[in-house]
Amino acid sequence: MRVRRALLSVSDKRGLVELARALRAHGVDLLSTGGTHAALVQAGLPVTQVSDFTGAPEILDGRVKTLHPRIHGGLLGRPVPAHEAQMAAHGIEPIDLVVVNLYPFEATVARDQVAFADAIEQIDIGGPAMLRSAAKNHERVAVVVDPDDYPAIIAELEAGGGALSAPRRLALARKVYAHTSAYDAAIAAYLSAVDDEAALAPAAAPARRPFPDTVAVQWRKRYDLRYGENPHQQAAFYADARAPLPGWPAGRPTIAGAEVLGGKQLSYNNILDLDAALGLALELPGCAAVVVKHNNPCGVARGDTPAAAYARARAADPVSAFGGIVAVTRPVDGALAALLAGTFLECVVAPDYSDEARATLAGKKNLRLVRAAGDWTPRAGDTVATVRSVAGGALVQTADTGLVDVRTARVATRRAPTAAELDDLAFAWAVAKHVKSNAIVFAKDGVTLAIGAGQMSRVDSVKICELKAGAALAGSAVASDAFFPFRDGVDVLAGAGATAVVQPGGSVRDEEVIAAADEHGLAMVMTGMRHFRH
């Protein structure tokens, strides 16, 4: 399909002039509106105002400018005799290419204090109408909604002598409907989140409910996976179509937005474990390393250097570290790379990698190097929604971004923790938040000694830790993700060698549990916040 006439109307002007020049080089007539027309004129390109083309002026503050039969007839007319005759009878000329992106509604409502009336004005009407008309008639019309597609369009026009192929037009049409559906979903979500009083005070910024009546999430496939959790399951990896994730703090690294620098493609289980490792690493101040196996940390440590932190984390449970996932909070340097090369690992995620590190690890063909660029600074209180599917539905909640400062939490026992114990309690508490319930974490001197995860009994979690570390638990601090329902949990961790414990509290038997801690000479701190992880 040769392009003879194109309509360009964009809010995002990236690459606009370059595309328009390429179109003109192939003799394409250009139509445009408003700011897009001004930008093209300023670039010295011949372009016709849509109002001159239709013979109808823009009215109602620009709300009506492309809603006209000469526009939509030119987009929807098929290359069949009946349509061509009707178009000729009404003076409608074909439009072969539409380049449109929409008013920035999502960016507008992302601002906390945007007035309701301002949000409403950013609901595009003419743009989606043109996109949908052109996409429906992709057998004759090409439609472009994403400026990132401009280079491919320019290249195909050049290769095809000003023509665009049918597969290209279909691919562009698919992208349009994905875009307009996400756009409409964002509008529906906003309107169902604002209070009804917004209609009575449109100049004000309305309050918004944290969980609107409508939740629409659109995911864009990044790539197919070799298989899912098991080889007989099929799987694919999708990222949020509107990166960064809605509500996700600017610059916060995610696995969905990370770059794989080397090694095989990530697997389904790799992605889950990388997400778990990154989530814990983002909560650890300073230089730290995390080793994750089957979605649970098996070794976590602080260190003066990345290599030192990783060496301590790996030594915490070297058996479980085999085939694990590693996250480090600092760029991987040559010293750390040499250590990583000495153990079979699936993946490493870090802010970056030095040239020396990449050269050292280049020979590890099965090791995936993942660079998650962004702000790795620990911070609490970010409002992020998480979605988890169940059969026939989904659970939506705010992410667990809370983390009580153990150093200021309530001391429940007669003995208060020492300064060293408080440091270890705070470290263990941060780790426990990322361990599957029932979670028990023993730590000392900034390294985990043993982690009990995913047990039906909290006592069993303690016993697993004792089995793993034995006498090494002497003088350690312990974190429990939820309260101890009976004193037996305290009895067994004291018997294992712990001297201090942090837990949320809140059991009907708290007094009994505290009394047990006093009997054993334990220092116990209660945070008032639990961290179940199912």
> Which CATH number does the domain housing residue 353 bear?
3.40.140.20
For residue 264, name the pLDDT band (cuts at 50, 70, 90). Answer: confident
Rounded Cα distance between 292 and 273, Å, is: 6
CA angle 99, 101, 105 (to 5 degrees): 170
Residues 422 and 494 in one domain: yes
pLDDT at position 387, please? 83
pLDDT at position 245, please? 45
Residues 65 and 171 in one domain: yes
For residue 247, name the pLDDT band (cuts at 50, 70, 90). Answer: very low
User: Catalytic one among 83, 294, 364, 520?
Assistant: 294
Residues 344 and 457 in one domain: no
- Tens of pLDDT, residue by residue over 96-143, are 999 998 888 888 888 878 999 999 999 989 999 999 999 999 999 999
| Residue appearing with tokens 């004193």 | 487
Identify which has the larger pLDDT, 195 or 480.
Answer: 480
pLDDT at position 381, please? 55
Specify whether the CB–CB gap between 291 and 317 falls below 8 A.
yes
- Tens of pLDDT, residue by residue over 489-500, are 999 999 999 999
pLDDT at position 382, please? 57
- How far is residue 272 from each of residues 228, 229, 265, measured CA to CA in Å? 11, 10, 14
Rounded Cα distance between 120 and 202, Å, is: 9
In a domain, 534, yes or no: no
For residue 394, name the pLDDT band (cuts at 50, 70, 90). Answer: confident
Residues 416 and 320 in one domain: no
pLDDT at position 209, please? 83
Give the distance, in angstroms, between the CA of residue 225 and the centroid of all CA atoms in the same chain. 19
pLDDT at position 373, please? 87
Give 212's DSSP letter: -
For 5-23, what is the mean pLDDT? 94
In a domain, 394, yes or no: no
pLDDT at position 246, please? 40
Identify which has the larger pLDDT, 507 or 197.
Answer: 507
Residues 21 and 130 in one domain: yes
- How far is residue 180 from each of residues 16, 130, 290, measured CA to CA in Å? 20, 11, 41
User: Catalytic one among 83, 136, 264, 520?
Assistant: 136
In CATH, what number is assigned to the domain containing residue 59?
A: 3.40.50.1380
pLDDT at position 513, please? 96
Residues 365 and 424 in one domain: no
For 447-462, what is the mean pLDDT? 94
For 39-58, what is the mean pLDDT? 91
Its pTM stands at 0.79
For 511-525, what is the mean pLDDT? 97
Identify which has the larger pLDDT, 202 or 216.
Answer: 202
Rounded Cα distance between 274 and 281, Å, is: 10
- Tens of pLDDT, residue by residue over 331-363, are 999 999 999 999 999 999 999 999 999 999 998
Residues 14 and 160 in one domain: yes
Give 283's DSSP letter: T
In a domain, 440, yes or no: yes
Range of the structural domain that residue 262 is part of: 253-371
Residues 45 and 153 in one domain: yes
Q: Which of 307, 350, 346, 296 is nearest to 327 (CA)?
A: 350
Q: Which residues pair with 15 in a beta bridge?
A: none
In a domain, 135, yes or no: yes
Number of Cβ within a 10 Å radius of residue 414: 12
pLDDT at position 380, please? 63
Angle between helices 166-193 and 150-159 (to 10 degrees): 160
Rounded Cα distance between 282 and 297, Å, is: 13
- Tens of pLDDT, residue by residue over 132-176, are 999 999 999 999 999 999 999 999 999 989 999 999 999 999 999
Domain count, the chain: 3
Q: Which helix (H) or strand (E) holds 223?
A: strand 219-225
In a domain, 232, yes or no: no
Q: Which range has the top average pLDDT, 53-57, 79-83, 231-235? A: 231-235
Q: pLDDT exceeding 90 applies to what percent of the chain?
A: 69
pLDDT at 249 over 70: no
* End-to-end Cα, the chain, rounded Å: 54
Q: What is the dihedral of CA 509, 512, 513, 519, to 10 degrees?
A: 180
Residues 6+ apart with CB under 8 A from 359: none
pLDDT at position 265, please? 86
pLDDT at position 384, please? 65
Domain boundary among 145, 168, 193: 193
To the query of whether residue 136 is one of the catalytic residues in this protein, the response is yes
Q: In whole numbers, what is the pLDDT of the chain averaged over residues?
A: 91
To the query of whether residue 520 is one of the catalytic residues in this protein, the response is no
Rounded Cα distance between 373 and 275, Å, is: 14
- HSE-up (13 A, CA, CB side) for residue 118: 15
Identify which has the larger pLDDT, 256 or 299.
Answer: 299
Residues 24 and 139 in one domain: yes
CA angle 23, 29, 34 (to 5 degrees): 95
Q: Which of 77, 84, 31 is nearest to 54 (CA)?
A: 31
Residues 6+ apart with CB under 8 A from 207: 194, 195, 197
Rounded Cα distance between 534 and 532, Å, is: 6
For 474-478, what is the mean pLDDT? 97
pLDDT at position 313, please? 97
pLDDT at position 250, please? 54
- Tens of pLDDT, residue by residue over 427-453, are 999 999 999 999 999 999 999 999 999
Residues 421 and 504 in one domain: yes
For residue 383, name the pLDDT band (cuts at 50, 70, 90). Answer: low
pLDDT at position 241, please? 67
In a domain, 496, yes or no: yes
Residues 136 and 258 in one domain: no
In a domain, 91, yes or no: yes
In a domain, 207, yes or no: no
